[in-house]
Amino acid sequence: MEKTVAVGRPNEKQKQFLLCRKKYVAFGGARGGGKSWAVRTKAKLLALYYPGIRILILRRTLPELESNHLRFLRRELQGVAEYIAGSRQFRFPGGSTVEFGYCAADGDLDRYQGAEYDVLFIDEATQLREEWLRRLAACVRGVNAFPKRIYYTCNPGGPGHGYIRRLFIDRRYEKGENPEDYAFIPARVTDNTALLAAQPDYIRQLEALPAALRRAWLEGRWDIFQGQVFREFTDDPEHYADRRLTHVIEPFDIPRSWNVYRSYDFGYAKPFSVGWWAVDHDGVIYRILELYGCTDTPDEGVQWSPDRQFAEIRRVEETHPWLRGRTIQGVADPAIWDASRGESIYETALKYRIYFTKGDNRRIPGWMQLHYRMSFDEDGYPMLYVFRNCRAFIRTVPQLLYADAAPEDVDTRQEDHAADESRYFCMSRPIAPRRQAASELMDDPLNMLKSGR
């Protein structure tokens, strides 16, 4: 006697997810969108439709797998697929398998080295680091006719926020990434009629959250999220021209009457970062150019020697039209003056006529200077702008999260190199806290427009 599997009736967004055949699909964006149900349902359908297919469902921890998937599937697949508890795997009569894994630390990746899957579901993908997401994606391969796909469910915030946002929200692709392979299906709690019927007060619970969480979990906004350090930072192309309510602007020729400076953070195994800053007559700073020593893998350094780094800095300053012919003073981490192991990094810089003063590397005051600079005044103007070509700053700084143990400090496990050299520069030209718009407006700068300011 054949067994049947009850699937249930998907809502419209879940239906789009179930039918989508793109290679990379992200589903979600807000809490309560029915993501876990969609993952379980699609995994079951794929396992039944393609006999012999290998599927992996992965979350950050085992308890999350148990509470969100395994406890449901053991009941739903009873009599249809055999559950092997030791390997956390369902085996279907046709030879298909649905396995379950977790990744909460670097060492957890070892169990997937050499593994091959046809389809990978990464549930709550933004809770995993970008490096982990990239390495896990390498497991999706094989010389068979089964589809090769990766499905991500996600909410804004978390270590993988920037990676998921780049691919599916901003749709900014790097070499080797085909835009046609990617699809994003947004879902909010208002799409999940089954949840609202069971918990009619769930929306009110989300509305009562702090502002950052409310915008991320209820509205599905990707620009502001819980734990984000520089919530002020805004990249709004609509305001590039008037420079209001945005920090990112189009490049322009730097007047010769403006001073230009250089900030530097050394790195070898980790990226080194150089920022060039122009200062106008009102004291507003502009990050006009940068040199960032990173491979195609985030937070992985190109392993250039100090000689090679300073030779390249010298070349840029002698050839770039914004820098050529200027006297450029720099500021750097005091650590480069350390000569305990021989010639200091600063002594190497001097050989290339690259000069620095010792930066003030106090962390909390440095971050506060960046906050003061990024804050909008009552007319919507900040004291810090970033040229659109400064991709490392734009990619890394807005994604930084606070440290768990030091709630006013940045978590040093992140890609914070551009942020570090930026704070050295800001500390060399400190400003007082600025008079801002009312707090309820600054909580979301776009409200300034709505208020008529």
Same domain, 68 and 116: yes
**pLDDT at 172 (0 to 100):** 85
Strand-pairing partners, residue 83, are: 90
Phi and psi at residue 365, to the nearest 5°: -60, -35
pLDDT of 448 = 46
Q: Which of 217, 252, 285 is the last residue of a domain?
A: 217
What confidence score (pLDDT) does residue 440 get? 37
If asked whether residues 241 and 207 sit together in one domain, one would say no
Residue 63, domain CATH: 3.40.50.300
Tell me the C-alpha distance between 135 and 5, whole Å: 33
What is the model's pLDDT at position 174? Answer: 86
Q: Do the domain assignments include residue 223? A: no
Let me know: does 249 contact 388? Beta carbons within 8 Å. Answer: yes
Q: How far apart are CA 421 and CA 408, in angstroms?
A: 18
Residues 258 and 200 in one domain: no
Write out the two tokens for 112.
């997937």
CB 248 within 8 A of CB 398: no
Per-residue pLDDT of the chain (453 residues; tens, 9 = 90+): 455 676 778 888 889 999 999 999 999 865 565 888 999 999 999 999 999 999 999 999 999 999 989 999 999 999 899 999 999 999 999 999 999 999 999 999 999 988 999 999 999 999 898 889 999 999 999 989 999 999 999 888 788 888 998 899 889 888 889 999 999 998 776 656 665 566 766 666 666 655 555 655 666 677 767 678 998 898 888 888 889 989 999 999 999 999 999 999 999 999 999 999 999 999 999 999 999 999 988 899 999 999 999 999 999 999 999 999 999 999 999 999 999 989 999 999 999 999 999 999 999 999 999 999 999 998 899 999 999 999 999 999 988 988 887 878 999 989 999 999 999 999 999 999 876 543 434 445 444 444 444
Sheet strand arrangement including 24-29: 82-84, 89-91, 97-102, 54-59, 119-122, 149-154, 24-29, 182-187
3-state secondary structure of 100: strand
Beta bridge partners of 262: 276, 330
Q: Which residue, of 163, 183, 217, is where some domain finishes?
A: 217
Please tell me the predicted confidence (pLDDT) of residue 232.
87
Identify the H or E element spanning 146.
none
Structural domain range at position 427:
237-450
Claim to verify: residue 325 and residue 180 sit in the same structural domain: no
Exposure b/e, 43-77, CB count within 10 A at least 16 = b: bbebbbebeebbbbbbbbeeebbeebbbeebeebb
How far apart CA 234 and CA 380 sit, in angstroms, is 11
Q: Is 91 exposed, middle or buried (0-12, 13-18, 19+ CB in 10 A)?
A: middle
Q: Is the CB of residue 289 less than 8 Å from the CB of residue 276?
A: yes
DSSP lists the bridge partners of residue 182 as 24
Whether 65 is in a domain gets the answer: yes
Contact 224, 216 (CB under 8 A): yes
Q: Are 102 and 59 in contact (CB under 8 A)?
A: yes
| Beta-bridge partners for 121 | 57, 151
Tokens of 279: 């200062």
In a domain, 231, yes or no: no
Q: CA 29 to CA 216: how far, in whole Å?
A: 8
| CA-closest candidate to residue 390, choices 246, 287, 307 | 287
Does residue 222 sit within a domain? Answer: no
224 found inside a domain:
no
Identify whether residues 287 and 324 lie together within a single domain. yes
Helices 363-374 & 417-428 angle (0-180, nearest 10):
80
Q: Are residues 301 and 203 in the same domain?
A: no
Do 363 and 439 sit in the same domain of this protein? yes
CA dist., res. 258 & res. 280, Å (int): 5
Instruction: Verify that 198 and 249 share a domain, yes or no.
Output: no
Q: What is the pLDDT of residue 213?
A: 55
Same domain, 304 and 192: no
Paired with 292 in beta bridges are 273
- Answer for the pair 147, 119: CB distance below 8 angstroms, yes or no: yes
Residue 3 belongs to some domain of the structure: no
CATH number of the domain enclosing 379 = 3.30.420.280
Residue 12, pLDDT score: 87
pLDDT at 452: 43
The pTM of the full predicted model, rounded to 2 decimals, is 0.69
Residues β-bridged to residue 80: none
- DSSP, collapsed to helix, strand or coil, labels residue 285 as strand
Is 331 in contact with 264 (CB distance < 8 Å)? Answer: yes
Instruction: Give the long-range contacts of residues 75-78, CB within 8 A, separation 24 or more.
Output: 76/5, 76/6, 76/40, 76/44, 77/5, 77/44
Burial 237-258 (b: 16+ CB within 10 A, else e): eebeeebbbbbbbeeeebeeeb
Q: Are 40 and 210 in contact (CB under 8 A)?
A: no
Decide: 409 and 367 in contact? Cβ < 8 Å: yes
- Across the strands, what pairs with 152? 26, 122
Task: Give me the pLDDT at residue 344, please.
Answer: 97
Q: Are residues 165 and 271 in the same domain?
A: no
Is 94 part of any domain? yes
Do residue 264 and residue 407 come from a single domain?
yes
Environment class of residue 132 by beta-carbon count within 10 Å: exposed (0-12), middle (13-18) or buried (19+)? buried
**Number of structural domains the chain divides into:** 2
Residues 259, 199 share a domain = no
Which residues make beta-bridge pairs with 187? 29
Beta strand pairing call for 384-387 and 248-249: parallel
